[in-house]
């Protein structure tokens, strides 16, 4: 009966720092399924995702249809950075790699003297970078100590590149005494190794990568050797300064376990809902985060073990393992079979109280006004004070109100208890799946599935109850309005002295069934009118076809459409007839044929219907029972009805 508004989780501020992060909108029966679908699309794990709820799903309860979840999912910016560094093929990593490819970079060349060979390494330009200038390259190769080189090969390599390799292109006059000299030093803590190179003189050979690696191996280095740093030092030597060429493998501490919450834990980030015109609706503050039984509320992300490191000599460097934590279990929650997911154990409001996840099936507020906004709650709502004009309450449990109710809409699957009265100002409505208790009701539309119990009066209101309407206080007055009850209406006085507004009492039928019956009969009558017009049009076209033996294509198509429309309406009427017969049978079978009790005065002008039979009061009468007998409304002497089966709601006192 209660249709709960979607309640958004506002994650805009968390995602503002990275607006360009790719997002997908996913729709699935459950939140877990939606996140799993998004994880597949992002090619990552669910724990690496962040999301905001576009439309909250619902499993269905009290006859409400099931509604799927719709969420907008983003990948966590921190995990994107990590995956980009590690070369993971996620979406952002692909974007960053693409950006690197289009950065302009000029071609480079490196001329070195290894052994007796003159060698060349050429890297090609990137993007709009400039290629190697061949004349400059040839000039640099042709040093005084150069004996010979293959000019055509050099030109070819300048165009095609050599990749990461050095290619021999000639010979030079090698003087071993002029070779470069290098020294490898190991730090005392075995964490770093450096190479210091003295430059060669004319005719001397450069240091090779294999020479540096051999020196490291000879000194016992077995871990942390950086081929990239060694190659960079060989390509572009830094002379007479120590350059790090090997580093210990540092230990990586494991991260601690933590809790990933599926609801907003920072209430300051819960915002008012925006209307279609972009204005903020401060009546819809979204302060309540409703959950249903079995809904995942939070998940413990397990701690990770640390990864041990090694010194340059292979000695073990210990890493710290991540610390575990206990699940923050509060009231009305349970642990799923995986041992780390917290589920709601009941419908209600999810809260983080003293750092523990709780579900409160009862919501208490001092009043309902601009501070609270409208309330939509999967449980019982208790209002200590009043519900001010223009504010609404929807609850799947009971609604208990200590003060008055103004021009509001109250909707509940359980009972509604109003310690004071209801002043609806012709716009207020009350709908509940149980019974309604109130001191008085004025200018309000009320629809309940069980009983309406009022202590004082009902004035100018439309009230319907599947069972009884009982006024039991000192006044117990019904003045104006239209009251429906299946079993009975009980009051002291009905109507008003001297007439005034019309007062109508109807008993002995199911008000919902009768209302539906009236709707069906009206729809059926409308269909009959449409059928009459269709049959006339069909008859005209068919007669034309008989005379001409054929119809133009357009009119033939129109005839077929009219016949289809007629058959569709005939089918609708058959369905209506079936439902009408069921409702009529239900109304005939009602055991409680309906009574109206008046211990005081029933004033002239009051209209009383018992099972569709009418008794219009012509003169004031007292102490009567109105009941149905042999097709007429009869009057009898008042007898106090027995209502021992009606019990007040738990915790309610008059």
For residues 447-457, one letter each, b for 16 or more C-beta atoms within 10 angstroms of the residue's C-beta and e for the rest, the string is: bbbbbbbbbbb
Using CA atoms, how far apart are residues 254 and 252, in angstroms rounded to an integer? 6
Residue range of the domain that includes 218: 177-247
Inside any domain, residue 356 = no
What's the mean pLDDT in 632-639?
A: 91
Using CA atoms, how far apart are residues 582 and 230, in angstroms rounded to an integer? 91
Q: Are residues 412 and 492 in the same domain?
A: yes
The count of structural domains within the chain is 5
The string of pLDDT tens digits covering residues 551-562 is 888 888 888 898
Inside any domain, residue 608 = yes
The string of pLDDT tens digits covering residues 178-222 is 999 999 999 999 999 999 999 999 999 999 999 999 999 999 999
Q: Are residues 67 and 189 in the same domain?
A: no
What's the mean pLDDT in 81-85?
A: 48
Inside any domain, residue 653 = no
Per-residue pLDDT band at 280 (split at 50, 70, 90): very low
Q: Are residues 213 and 200 in the same domain?
A: yes
Q: Are residues 478 and 602 in the same domain?
A: yes
User: CB of 308 within 8 A of CB of 253?
Assistant: no
DSSP state of 262: S
The string of pLDDT tens digits covering residues 26-54 is 777 777 777 777 776 677 777 677 777 77
Inside any domain, residue 268 = no
Q: Are residues 491 and 609 in the same domain?
A: yes
Q: Are residues 490 and 408 in the same domain?
A: yes
User: CB of 412 within 8 A of CB of 398?
Assistant: yes
For the question of whether the overall pTM of this predicted structure is more than 0.75, the answer is: no
Using CA atoms, how far apart are residues 585 and 567, in angstroms rounded to an integer? 27
Check residue 268 and give its pLDDT: 59
Domain stop point among 84, 102, 120: 102
- pLDDT surpassing 80 at residue 80: no
Q: Are residues 28 and 160 in the same domain?
A: no
- pLDDT surpassing 50 at residue 394: yes
Residue identified by tokens 């008003």 is 496
Using CA atoms, how far apart are residues 265 and 256, in angstroms rounded to an integer? 20
Inside any domain, residue 418 = yes
Using CA atoms, how far apart are residues 312 and 224, in angstroms rounded to an integer? 6
Inside any domain, residue 341 = no
- Give whole-number Cα distances, 434 to 362, 397, 509, 542, in Å: 17, 10, 18, 57
What's the mean pLDDT in 122-150?
A: 90
Q: Are residues 599 and 477 in the same domain?
A: yes
Inside any domain, residue 393 = no
Classify strands 117-123 and 146-149 as parallel, antiparallel or unpaired.
unpaired
Q: What is the token pair recorded at 64?
A: 């409400």
Q: Are residues 447 and 411 in the same domain?
A: yes
- pLDDT surpassing 60 at residue 456: yes
Q: Are residues 585 and 596 in the same domain?
A: no
The string of pLDDT tens digits covering residues 249-277 is 999 999 899 999 988 887 655 554 555 55
DSSP state of 63: T
Q: Are residues 488 and 528 in the same domain?
A: no
User: CB of 197 within 8 A of CB of 188?
Assistant: no
Domain stop point among 247, 274, 301: 247
Check residue 109 and give its pLDDT: 92
Per-residue pLDDT band at 7 (split at 50, 70, 90): very low
Q: Are residues 47 and 144 in the same domain?
A: no
Inside any domain, residue 133 = yes
- pLDDT surpassing 50 at residue 351: yes
Using CA atoms, how far apart are residues 458 and 483, in angstroms rounded to an integer? 9
Domain stop point among 174, 197, 231: 174
What's the mean pLDDT in 217-244?
A: 92
User: CB of 93 within 8 A of CB of 46?
Assistant: no
User: CB of 476 within 8 A of CB of 453?
Assistant: no
Using CA atoms, how far apart are residues 102 and 122, in angstroms rounded to an integer? 20
Per-residue pLDDT band at 378 (split at 50, 70, 90): confident
């Amino acid at each position: 009966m209660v249709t709960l508004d979607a309640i958004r989780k506002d994650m805009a501020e968390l995602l503002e720092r990275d607006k360009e992060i790719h997002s997908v909108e996913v729709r699935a029966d459950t939140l877990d399924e939606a996140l799993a679908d998004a994880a597949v699309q992002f090619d990552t794990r669910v724990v690496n995702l962040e999301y905001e709820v576009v439309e909250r799903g619902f499993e269905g309860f009290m006859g409400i249809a099931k509604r799927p979840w719709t969420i907008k999912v983003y990948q966590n910016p921190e995990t994107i950075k990590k995956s980009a560094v590690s070369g993971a093929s996620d979406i952002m990593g692909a974007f960053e790699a693409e950006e690197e490819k289009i950065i302009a970079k000029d071609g480079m060349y490196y001329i070195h003297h290894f052994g007796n060979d003159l060698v060349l390494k050429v890297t090609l330009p990137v993007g709009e970078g400039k290629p190697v200038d061949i004349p400059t390259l040839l000039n640099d190769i042709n040093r005084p100590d150069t004996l010979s080189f293959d000019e055509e090969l050099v030109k070819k390599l300048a165009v095609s590149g050599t990749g990461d390799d050095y290619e021999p292109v000639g010979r030079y006059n090698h003087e071993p005494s002029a070779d470069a000299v290098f020294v490898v030093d190991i730090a005392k803590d075995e964490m770093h190794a450096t190479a210091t190179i003295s430059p060669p003189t004319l005719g001397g050979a450069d240091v090779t990568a294999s020479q540096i690696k051999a020196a490291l191996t000879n000194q016992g280095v077995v871990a942390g050797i950086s081929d990239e740093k060694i190659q960079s030092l060989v390509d572009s030597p830094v002379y007479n300064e120590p350059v790090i060429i090997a580093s210990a493998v540092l230990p990586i501490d494991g991260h601690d376990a933590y809790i990933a919450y599926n609801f907003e834990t920072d209430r300051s980030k819960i915002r008012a809902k925006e209307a279609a015109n972009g204005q903020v609706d401060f009546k819809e503050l979204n302060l309540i985060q409703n959950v249903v039984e079995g809904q995942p509320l939070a998940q413990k992300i397990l701690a990770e073990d640390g990864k041990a490191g090694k010194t340059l000599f292979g000695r073990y460097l210990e890493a710290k393992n991540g610390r575990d934590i206990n699940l923050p279990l509060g009231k009305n929650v349970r642990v799923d079979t995986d041992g780390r997911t917290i589920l709601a154990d009941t419908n209600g409001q999810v809260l983080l109280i003293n750092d523990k996840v709780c579900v409160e099936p009862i919501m208490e507020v001092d009043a309902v006004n601009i501070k609270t906004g409208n309330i939509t709650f999967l449980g019982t709502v208790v209002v200590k004070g009043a519900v001010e004009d223009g504010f609404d309450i929807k609850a799947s449990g009971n609604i208990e109100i200590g003060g008055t109710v103004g021009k509001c809409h109250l909707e509940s699957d359980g009972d509604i208890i109003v310690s004071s009265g209801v002043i609806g100002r012709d716009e207020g409505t009350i709908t509940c799946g149980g019974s309604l208790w109130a001191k008085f009701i004025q200018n309000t539309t009320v629809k309940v599935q069980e009983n309406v119990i009022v202590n004082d009066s009902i004035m100018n209101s439309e009230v319907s109850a599947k069972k009884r309407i009982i006024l039991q206080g000192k006044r117990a007055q019904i003045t104006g309005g239209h009251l429906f009850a299946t079993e009975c209406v009980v009051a002291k006085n009905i109507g008003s002295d001297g007439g005034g507004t019309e007062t109508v009492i109807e008993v002995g039928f199911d008000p919902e069934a009768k209302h539906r019956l009236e709707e069906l009969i009206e729809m059926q009558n409308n269909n009959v009118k449409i059928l009459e017009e269709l049959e006339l049009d069909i008859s005209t076209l068919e007669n034309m076809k008989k005379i001409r033996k054929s119809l133009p294509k357009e009119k033939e198509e129109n005839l077929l459409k009219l016949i289809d429309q007629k058959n569709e309406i005939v089918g609708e009427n058959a369905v209506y007839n079936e439902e009408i017969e069921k409702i009529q049978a239900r109304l005939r079978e009602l055991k409680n044929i309906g009574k109206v009790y008046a211990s005081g005065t029933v004033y002239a002008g009051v209209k009383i219907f018992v099972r569709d039979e009418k008794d219009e009061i012509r003169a004031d009468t007292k102490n009567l029972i109105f009941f149905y007998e042999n097709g007429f409304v009869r009057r009898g002497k008042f007898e106090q009805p027995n209502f021992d089966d009606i019990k007040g709601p738990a915790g309610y006192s008059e």
